[in-house]
Structure 1
Amino acid sequence: MGQSVSSAKLTTRRDCYHSQRSYSRSTVLISPMKTEEAEVIDELSDFISDLPDECLACVFQCLTPADRKRCSLVCRRWLRIEGQNRHRLSLNAQSDLHPLIPSIFSRFDAVTKLALKCDRRSVGIGDEALASISERCPNLTRLKLRACRDLTDAGMLAFAKNCRGLKKLSCGSCTFGAKGMNAVLDNCPALEELSVKRLRGIIDGAAAEPIGPGLAAASLKTICLKELYNGQCFGPLIIGARNLRSLKLFRCSGDWDKLFPLIMDQVTSIIEIHMERIQVSDVGLEAISNSLNLEILHLVKTPECTNAGLGAVAEKCKLLRKLHIDGWKANRIGDHGLIAVAKSCSNLQELVLIGVNPTKLSLEMLASNCQNLERLALCGSDTVGDAEICCIALKCIALKKLCIKSCPISDHGMEALASGCPNLVKVKVKKCRGVTPEGADWLRANRGSLSVNLDMGEHLDVTANDGVVQDNGDGIPPVVAGAVAEKCKLLRKLHIDGWKANRIGDHGLIAVAKSCSNLQELVLIGVNPTKLSLEMLASNCQNLERLALCGSDTVGDAEICCIALKCIALKKLCIKSCPISDHGMEALASGCPNLVKVKVKKCRGVTPEGADWLRANRGSLSVNLDMGEHLDVTANDGVVQDNGDGIPPVVAGQIGAPGIASSSTARSTSFKLSGLLGGRSFMACTLRRLASSNGSSRS
């Protein structure tokens, strides 16, 4: 029964299908099985063919742009429906687009969002093309113009008259000026969002034509200005936009302190303000504090803003939810400003501090008073360590996302997050050298639901052909260094800049000494080896010819004596910013028989007398001593000022010595002092001539 019913339904459907369409049948005999399969296929295609245009349009809207383009080529009906229901279109706005505009927009006649982008090296569309587009797209609500440098004020006027329903305009790297912008504002009363970037046609200086307010001022809700030479010409527009909600200013030159008081007196509905690299100080922040509805504030690289301005904003803008501060490491905003935020802004949900140095005091108050704080980012803060992270873990109950970058924290701080911040779901740690992969793995293991993202910022370049290992990043962990040394036994050159992170030390260097007997060149910068590892390197690496030790706090006279005693093949030695003295230099007089050059820089314990003694006792040795000093001599008053690393006691004693030999009795004291410190023959000759002329005139 069931089969007969379905067969009847199938027959009825088949009859309807054949009544609608007629097509020729083949005279070749076809098996019954193949006939049924063909009829089923025809029936399925019939379902799609009978689909209404509206339903097919909904299907197209669910597809990706690539799939939508491919499907539009199936048949003419699909091509027509896809074109009639496409609302968003992006075109390459080169000059050859103009003759194609009628055919393009006859197919896409329902476009409401249009993007016209041109390459910098190409010639873009002109006024006629833009006017033609506006005539065929009267319902356009969004327009984006990029690098359309051939558009003028006349073209923007023609466009604005045809597209009065425009709601969003974004233009970048265009050349029309204030008249074209005013044309849009006067003819598009529904405009809600305006974004302008690098508008070349605006005249810089007092002669610039003011922009706005126009009819669009009443409906504008968002204004974004980027990289404008004279952004203040938009002042009338901003002041007249009474319903403005968001104001974003990026790298716009000029003094904004004069404009913000006028803006805040007229516009009271602003809830979001972004300021990046603009000239604004506490005066501007004082004016911004009058916006009592402010919820989002971004202060990015505004070095003239201080704790006082931030405190004024925090005191009045109690609805503040998001606060981003990039202090640019100017130390103008710190604990005082953040404490003011903690006291007044209890609704704070997101806090981003970049280049700001908060301490435990301000972070503790923020964690205690801002109970809704969910997102916290601390980047480039020299004062944020393990104690501060422990404080955050203990008191930030609502925290969900934590980002820490370039801060002096360690695994101990990460361990505190295992038991603190009960709502924490994601932790991102980047370029924090004290945090090891083992610490991150431990945190993941002890808190499985927590997503831990650790970025060490390291880059290790190993060249197997010539046996060179070079550290280009922030330091190689000892385990990695040991693994490289163990397997790369042909290693000849090894350069390590540990950046004083103490991640590489004796263990890694001992592994190198044990495995890399062919080592010829070793450079250690910001690494602290001890006598133990240096002795093993000197004993096992008999081919070591070039050695550099820079910025090592543990390399003293004992280590230099060890090198002098055991580095037989050493030819060149460089020591910089290490705590060695003349005693270490004396050891080089009898050690390192093949040594030909020694360079010592910024080692304050080594005196010129010590270097001279080494030269005298080992004549074939080239000794280069750089004290790293800079003396400023004022000849008028005989003042010697140290602008560098300090004057050694020996030099200071020579300067203060009362008896200085001179061939001219008439030379003044300041001339004697300048001649002594200059040490150049031409200066001495010049001073002698001046002194002799003074003596002859007096006589």
Structure 2
Amino acid sequence: MRGHDLINTVLPDELIIEIFNHLDGSKLSCDACSLVCKRWLRLDRSSRRTVRIEASGNPDVVANLLVRRFVNIENVYIDERLPVSLPLQFGYSTRPGLARPPTGKRRRGSKSARSSSKIRYSSENSASEGSNLEPYSLSDAGLNALAEGFTRLEKLSLVWCSNVTSVGLQSIAEKCRSLKFLDLQGCYVGDQGLAAVGKCCKQLEDLNLRFCEGLSDIGLVELAHGCGRSLKTLGVAACAKITDISLEAVGSHCPFLQTLSLDSEFIKNKGVLSVAQGCPSLKVLKLQCISVTDEALQAVGAYCSLLEFLALYSFQKFTDRSLCAIGRGCKKLKNLILSDCYFLSDKSLEAIATGCCELTCLEVNGCHNIGTSGLEAIGKSCPGLSELALLYCQRIGNTALSEVGRGCKLLQAIRLVDCSSIGDDAICGIAQGCRNLKKLHIRRCYEVGDKGIIAIGENCKSLTDLSLQFCDRVGDDALIAIGRGCSLQYLNVSGCHQIGDAGLIAIARGCPELVYLDNLGDMALFEIGEGCPLLKDIVLSHCRQITDAGLTYLVSRCAMLESCHMVYCPFVTSAGVATVVSGCLKMKKVLVEKCKVSERTRRRAGSVLSYLCVDL
């Protein structure tokens, strides 16, 4: 009944909290609930489990405020890669999933009010002057406050928190002994802090040490000794002082390790061999180690029979022998990425096809000795393949993709970049065989034209994501077929100079669920405005037929727009930019030349404006 609070009268706290728990941690939903009444505010504060903090005016102040308001936090994510872009009270971010600003009235002139005003002023200055001012960084004092307030902490992510040292990390280790996930990417912590984590956090499962330049073998060895039996995921990159000694300790003390990511020029065969022999549960292995040779990869094939994901980047010291060993021993392999592996040939893919019949995802990038016969073997022997990416594969021809079309009926995503020998016959083969295709990205494949794309439109009715960048032979007829046969959500045709308004109008009329679009003119804008009300992202850069009139019509119809790129559009003026900024309430980013932004627009919407070219 109107005027009666039936929910608060009938439902106990426990049931309301259970309802809150079904919000999946969405900040917007939690904030909305907390604003209903004081009781729901109290229950929301006690039931929150996750907070996220971006770069802010003073993250230490934010940390102290958080521990006073939320008492049962288990997950804290801090990311200082981004500069301050909005005037935020108390340094809080307004992005989804981040902690809610504090509420409550304060007396004018009080100490708290003056403090908040000072912080707010600092943020506003940072926003107005752009990214020239570096935001303050979280310090050991702020980290200690989090440790004392959030003793139930299970996940802690400190991304590029450059002022955090071993002192702060030690306080986390000593007071948050339930810690399971620790991300120290870009933090200059030392060995003492990592050793303390190993000593105190016996439940640690996931550790990311990418770009932790202050660490050496001493810290990682101590951690492996302390909590190695619980560790399941380890990532190391650009740590010059971490060598094979650390990996030997991991191999000896981390028998349940499942995921290992290594990017280092100092890791050699000995370290990878130790991990392969000592970690039989390994499922994911990502290596970018230029000093590793066939010996190490052959050990992986011999000992890691549970391996499911293998990524090899920039390997120049191993040959087909490595992949043959993987094919013989890793029968459960599902994902394979080969990038810039110059000495691999078709024999490698043939070995994978023969031994790893469960393969679902394959990416071949810049492996110039892999050609048609290798991919044909995949098409014949891997019927479960669902994703295929071929980048800079000049020796792979049409018959390879035709074989994939015949044998891989479950294929859903294809990405082709600079494959000069692939043309319409290959795309037709895919279209006729892979009717469940949902994503097709083609870039700079100059032999692909209307014939192949028309076949896609006629046969692949589930296609939702299409990119045809710089495919000069694709014209309006192709898009007309796509508009008739597919319900696209994403379309990118930048650099396709034969596509005009006719093709884009067909897309607008046939794809009402479109949310991303690139490259069109005023007539197409009118049709998009009428036919695609769900559009969120649009790229208009280098569109010489776009004017302020087209933009005005677009924003009046597409209320969901969140980003708009319109650089180098000669007939778009400052008035058109102002129309886009003021007419789209959900707008988050507008990329434009600085000279086309009026002072008034800059004052009103500086936080959403981005400039590709500052001075033109």
What TM bracket, shorter-length normalisation? 0.5 to 0.7
Q: Aligned partners of 2:250, 2:546: CA distance in 1, in Å?
A: 64
Distance apart, 1:214 and its partner CA: 5.4
- For residue 443 of structure 2, what is the aligned residue in structure 1? 379
| The one of 404, 407, 411 aligned to 1:344 | 407
Q: Measured at CA, do residues 221 and 281 of structure 1 come closer, stay the same or move farther in structure 2, by a change above 3 Å?
A: same
Say whether residues 1:141 and 2:209 are aligned partners.
no
Q: Aligned partners of 2:504, 2:180: CA distance in 1, in Å?
A: 49
- For residue 412 of structure 1, what is the aligned residue in structure 2? 477
| The one of 66, 86, 99 aligned to 2:167 | 99
Distance apart, 1:305 and its partner CA: 0.7
After TM superposition, the structure 1 = structure 2 runs for residues 434-453 of structure 1, keeping only pairs within 5 Å, are: 434-437=498-501, 439-451=503-515, 453=517
- For residue 117 of structure 1, what is the aligned residue in structure 2? 185
Say whether residues 1:194 and 2:260 are aligned partners.
yes
- For residue 395 of structure 1, what is the aligned residue in structure 2? 459
- For residue 251 of structure 2, what is the aligned residue in structure 1? 185
Distance apart, 1:315 and its partner CA: 1.2
Larger RCO, structures 1/2 (Cα 8 Å, 6+ apart):
2
- For residue 316 of structure 2, what is the aligned residue in structure 1? 253
| The one of 359, 379, 399 aligned to 1:294 | 359
| The one of 275, 292, 303 aligned to 1:240 | 303
Asked if the contact 2:258/2:284 (under 8 Å) is kept, the reply is: yes
Letter in 2 for 1:241: C
After TM superposition, the structure 1 = structure 2 runs for residues 189-228 of structure 1, keeping only pairs within 5 Å, are: 189-197=255-263, 199-203=264-268, 211-213=273-275, 216-228=278-290
Q: Aligned partners of 1:190, 1:58: CA distance in 2, in Å?
A: 33
Q: Measured at CA, do residues 398 and 106 of structure 1 come closer, stay the same or move farther in structure 2, by a change above 3 Å?
A: same
Q: Measured at CA, do residues 108 and 213 of structure 1 come closer, stay the same or move farther in structure 2, by a change above 3 Å?
A: closer
Asked if the contact 1:224/1:247 (under 8 Å) is kept, the reply is: yes
Asked if the contact 2:427/2:453 (under 8 Å) is kept, the reply is: no
SS of alignment partner, residue 170 of structure 1: strand
Q: Measured at CA, do residues 440 and 214 of structure 1 come closer, stay the same or move farther in structure 2, by a change above 3 Å?
A: closer
Distance apart, 1:387 and its partner CA: 2.4
Please, which runs of 5 or more residues in structure 2 have no aligned partner? 10-36, 55-61, 74-145, 522-539, 548-569, 571-616
Q: Measured at CA, do residues 81 and 363 of structure 1 come closer, stay the same or move farther in structure 2, by a change above 3 Å?
A: same
Distance apart, 1:71 and its partner CA: 3.0
Q: Measured at CA, do residues 130 and 416 of structure 1 come closer, stay the same or move farther in structure 2, by a change above 3 Å?
A: same
Say whether residues 1:87 and 2:154 are aligned partners.
yes
Q: Aligned partners of 1:59, 1:209: CA distance in 2, in Å?
A: 42
Asked if the contact 1:57/1:82 (under 8 Å) is kept, the reply is: no
Distance apart, 1:361 and its partner CA: 2.5
Q: Measured at CA, do residues 233 and 170 of structure 1 come closer, stay the same or move farther in structure 2, by a change above 3 Å?
A: farther
Letter in 2 for 1:84: T
Distance apart, 1:86 and its partner CA: 2.2
- For residue 644 of structure 1, what is the aligned residue in structure 2? none
Q: Measured at CA, do residues 95 and 363 of structure 1 come closer, stay the same or move farther in structure 2, by a change above 3 Å?
A: closer
After TM superposition, the structure 1 = structure 2 runs for residues 205-604 of structure 1, keeping only pairs within 5 Å, are: 211-213=273-275, 216-230=278-292, 232=294, 234-235=296-297, 236-279=299-342, 280-290=344-354, 291-328=356-393, 330=394, 332-356=395-419, 357-408=421-472, 409-421=474-486, 423-437=487-501, 439-451=503-515, 453-455=517-519, 477=544
Letter in 2 for 1:219: S
Asked if the contact 1:212/1:234 (under 8 Å) is kept, the reply is: no
Write out per-residue CA displacement over residues 581-625 of structure 1, whole angstroms, 9 at most, x where no aligned residue. xxxxxxxxxxxxxxxxxxxxxxxxxxxxxxxxxxxxxxxxxxxxx
Say whether residues 1:58 and 2:47 are aligned partners.
yes
Letter in 2 for 1:181: L
Q: Aligned partners of 1:95, 1:476: CA distance in 2, in Å?
A: 45
Distance apart, 1:292 and its partner CA: 1.1
Asked if the contact 1:90/1:116 (under 8 Å) is kept, the reply is: yes
Task: State the TM-score, normalized to the length of structure 2.
Answer: 0.60
Q: Aligned partners of 1:46, 1:400: CA distance in 2, in Å?
A: 45
Q: Measured at CA, do residues 95 and 134 of structure 1 come closer, stay the same or move farther in structure 2, by a change above 3 Å?
A: farther
Identity rate, percent: 23
Asked if the contact 1:209/1:233 (under 8 Å) is kept, the reply is: no
Asked if the contact 1:289/1:313 (under 8 Å) is kept, the reply is: yes
Distance apart, 1:355 and its partner CA: 1.5
SS of alignment partner, residue 273 of structure 1: strand
Q: Aligned partners of 1:77, 1:446: CA distance in 2, in Å?
A: 49
Q: Measured at CA, do residues 153 and 76 of structure 1 come closer, stay the same or move farther in structure 2, by a change above 3 Å?
A: closer
Say whether residues 1:70 and 2:65 are aligned partners.
yes
- For residue 155 of structure 1, what is the aligned residue in structure 2? 219
Q: Aligned partners of 1:425, 1:306: CA distance in 2, in Å?
A: 33
Q: Measured at CA, do residues 432 and 68 of structure 1 come closer, stay the same or move farther in structure 2, by a change above 3 Å?
A: farther
Q: Aligned partners of 1:103, 1:398: CA distance in 2, in Å?
A: 53
Please, which runs of 5 or more residues in structure 1 have no aligned partner? 10-43, 458-472, 481-503, 505-699
- For residue 574 of structure 2, what is the aligned residue in structure 1? none
Q: Aligned partners of 2:324, 2:466: CA distance in 1, in Å?
A: 36
Q: Aligned partners of 1:125, 1:338: CA distance in 2, in Å?
A: 49
Write out per-residue CA displacement over residues 632-654 of structure 1, whole angstroms, 9 at most, x where no aligned residue. xxxxxxxxxxxxxxxxxxxxxxx
SS of alignment partner, residue 73 of structure 1: helix
Q: Measured at CA, do residues 85 and 312 of structure 1 come closer, stay the same or move farther in structure 2, by a change above 3 Å?
A: same
Q: Aligned partners of 1:310, 1:365: CA distance in 2, in Å?
A: 14
Write out per-residue CA displacement over residues 70-93 of structure 1, whole angstroms, 9 at most, x where no aligned residue. 331349999789512322223468
Letter in 1 for 2:332: S
Distance apart, 1:289 and its partner CA: 1.1
Asked if the contact 1:311/1:340 (under 8 Å) is kept, the reply is: yes
SS of alignment partner, residue 165 of structure 2: helix
Q: Aligned partners of 2:154, 2:311: CA distance in 1, in Å?
A: 28
Distance apart, 1:297 and its partner CA: 0.7
Q: Aligned partners of 2:546, 2:217: CA distance in 1, in Å?
A: 65
Asked if the contact 1:307/1:337 (under 8 Å) is kept, the reply is: yes
Asked if the contact 1:95/1:126 (under 8 Å) is kept, the reply is: no
- For residue 556 of structure 2, what is the aligned residue in structure 1? none
Q: Measured at CA, do residues 231 and 177 of structure 1 come closer, stay the same or move farther in structure 2, by a change above 3 Å?
A: farther
Q: Measured at CA, do residues 68 and 223 of structure 1 come closer, stay the same or move farther in structure 2, by a change above 3 Å?
A: same
- For residue 169 of structure 1, what is the aligned residue in structure 2? 234
Q: Aligned partners of 1:46, 1:445: CA distance in 2, in Å?
A: 49
Write out per-residue CA displacement over residues 538-594 of structure 1, whole angstroms, 9 at most, x where no aligned residue. xxxxxxxxxxxxxxxxxxxxxxxxxxxxxxxxxxxxxxxxxxxxxxxxxxxxxxxxx
Asked if the contact 1:226/1:250 (under 8 Å) is kept, the reply is: yes
Q: Aligned partners of 1:418, 1:456: CA distance in 2, in Å?
A: 15
SS of alignment partner, residue 448 of structure 1: coil
Asked if the contact 1:134/1:159 (under 8 Å) is kept, the reply is: yes
